[in-house]
Structure 1
């Protein structure tokens, strides 16, 4: 485990809390591994019937720590396998997953929600998928799942233009179950998780399995993963991350 991810089991609910608020819960490799471990243990533990994700501070998560991506773009490291492991793990979880999202949910902070079964948003939530802005491609099968959920036009705008979707828009688009004041968010999500613990676990697992095309999701994750790794080594990616570090607009016009 890492000090930036807290796990707690109570009443049949495993609560996984991202605790790096000073960095907007930006995800390090250690955090990804801790969350993957928690999911794997939850699947094997009969006392856990539901998994709940939440984040401390004013953001759900800023997504992948961009310092990791930047070092990879400079050729200083390998692709962040802990991130891929988390994506692969969450996509295969058979138990219900609930998410409580406040503030910004960036990158994987949004795409992981497509693998959750109930999503509750604070009224200040914003879903952001800035992959193209970083010269990358979508991940977590979101290039298929997001258009499937909200339509091509809105999904393309989120990906290609990096346009945020606010909480009201996410609710109207079918990405969330409810929008509540931030002060009520955790209770709303926890109450839903507790309600699920009272349903027959076998029926819940089979229902989730029937509602998800697991082979299609796995194939999309694999295809995205290959392209993602390739994109991290391109001059466009190096320019994107250099511009981010230098706090300027990237210039892709000559690349």
Structure 2
């Protein structure tokens, strides 16, 4: 069986690649657990200088695997999806993302916690939480209004409107938009490899300083969102919306 998360080590670079092409790289509990463990190990390993998260040149991730979510919904903040969020939030090493194709739900919100994000111009990003009877997660209800203003954030979080990779770069969600998926992944790899030549201690301290402002508030918001998200998963609205999604698929 093909690994749903492919881990590759190239000198000081750890690459985490989503690898469920038949499911549009949708994330399962097992995948979240593997991602969390890999990030924690990278954070503790002095020989890892940077982490690169990517999908394929056709698809980043369609977000949560809805069937897996319905069968084994997260019940508390120690569930695999929230352990992944915690490990990414706490990672002291620079995290770079290469994004092409669909980036849905947590496929978009995780980018808010990466240090450098390279997307294809035609990437399709969307956070359809309300559309599924759910609520925002991973600090997006705090970060996006601050980054975009309330009105634009409301469009993305209350209406679930999608946007392109080019828009993501214009709005500061991504670092740069490239002409193709291959170019976005190549640029992300190129930038990630630059950390081989940079002083790791200086990089980590600089990241710490950049992230320290409002860090505790962000942590609290993520926990509040997570508690409400797990409640919403058991709500009639979410059960109906998620079951309808499965039926249509």
Shorter-chain TM-score range: over 0.9
Counting only pairs closer than 5 Å after superposition, residues 127-166 of structure 1 correspond to structure 2 as 127-166=125-164
| Structure 1 partner of 2:23 | 23
TM-score, normalised to structure 1, is 0.91
* Alpha-carbon displacement from aligned partner over 1:141-185 (angstroms, at most 9, x marks no partner): 111012222222111111111111101111110111111122222
| Structure 2 partner of 1:60 | 60
Quick check: 1:111 aligned with 2:109? yes
Aligned residues: 243
Structure 1 residue 241 displacement after superposition:
1.3
Structure 1 residue 57 displacement after superposition:
5.6
Q: Indicate if the aligned counterparts of 2:13 and 2:192 stay in contact, CA closer than 8 A.
A: yes
What RMSD in Å do the two structures reach over aligned CA positions? 1.6
Q: Indicate if the aligned counterparts of 2:58 and 2:181 stay in contact, CA closer than 8 A.
A: no
User: Which whole-Å CA distance do the structure 2 matches of 1:163 and 1:198 have between them?
Assistant: 40
* Alpha-carbon displacement from aligned partner over 1:211-250 (angstroms, at most 9, x marks no partner): 22321221011110111111111111111112212329xx
Q: Indicate if the aligned counterparts of 1:11 and 1:194 stay in contact, CA closer than 8 A.
A: no
| Structure 2 partner of 1:245 | 246
Q: 1:79 aligns with which of 75, 96, 115?
A: 75
| Structure 2 partner of 1:196 | 195
| Structure 2 partner of 1:89 | 87
| Structure 1 partner of 2:184 | 185
Q: Indicate if the aligned counterparts of 2:108 and 2:126 stay in contact, CA closer than 8 A.
A: yes
Any unmatched runs of 5+ in structure 2? Answer: none
Any unmatched runs of 5+ in structure 1? Answer: 249-255
